[in-house]
Amino acid sequence: MEKWYGVSGLVLVLSLFFGVKGEPQVPCYFIFGDSLVDNGNNNELRSLARADYLPYGIDFANGPTGRFSNGRTTVDVIAELLGFDDYIPPYSTASGRQILGGVNYASAAAGIREETGQQLGARISFSGQVKNYQQTVQQVVNLLGDEDSAANYLRQCIYSIGLGSNDYLNNYFMPLYYSTGRQYSPEEYANSLIQEYTEQLQALYNYGARKFVLIGLGQIGCSPNELAQNSGDGRTCVERINAANRIFNNKLRGLVDQFNNANSDAKFIYINAYGIFQDITSNPAAY
């Protein structure tokens, strides 16, 4: 489970700059990620990474839902800004024509690597989320009548992907449970993650995705969890963790360029979450 501040701040920024309701802009919104955007997929799993109880959801209209937040998550706000009448449902409960508006596949404790987060119990890795999406695509084909209709529909959708935090928090920098920190240098580890990331993005592309939003890692070394466990004074960010995150982010930027150059019919963009949260935490009064 990622424990870093800044998410609620970003939600506030989105709300202030763009309002909380927009005109419908896309027919569907598909979400892949971890606890930052999980909205209930872990509720029925045998896992410590669950948030279906108070005080989670204390400021959310429906109470605890599985969101790792007191209220809305960033993707909830984005769904509002895109003009959706309701939040994107989790894969665990989405059914029927509801899936035509999009599905949230995110799972708390999930990572790009299969083993990431295993000390917390069950979770749905990136590859598992992609497999669930592939099942959804077959349902879309059945609903719309044929593969061509489904492909034309899906190419209009936005695909939001934000994974990797747990591959550091709940893997690389957790030596009591994982050997990756001894096996790989930060550069080598980032390369391994990007290689697996590439395979999953290609699978999404092969199943109709064309509008990709890839979200970089935030300042994990500044999270409350890392400040408590690894900061000498409890206030100074852990630079070795942030440095590793920057290596991953730089490679993710390169991956965006690679896919854009190779696929003229698709669009990939990178979200500099590291810079966004750095600004929020460095200049809190501005927000």
Which stretches of the chain drop beneath a pLDDT of 70?
1-23
pTM for the model stands at: 0.91
> What pLDDT is recorded for position 132?
98
> What pLDDT is recorded for position 8?
45
Burial 155-176 (b: 16+ CB within 10 A, else e): eebbbbbbbbbbbbbbbbbbee
> What pLDDT is recorded for position 34?
98
Only one residue has tokens 């979450």, namely 273
> What pLDDT is recorded for position 2?
38
Domain 30-286: what homologous superfamily?
Answer: SGNH hydrolase (3.40.50.1110)
Token digits for 267?
A: 């669009």
> What pLDDT is recorded for position 287?
82
> What pLDDT is recorded for position 14?
46
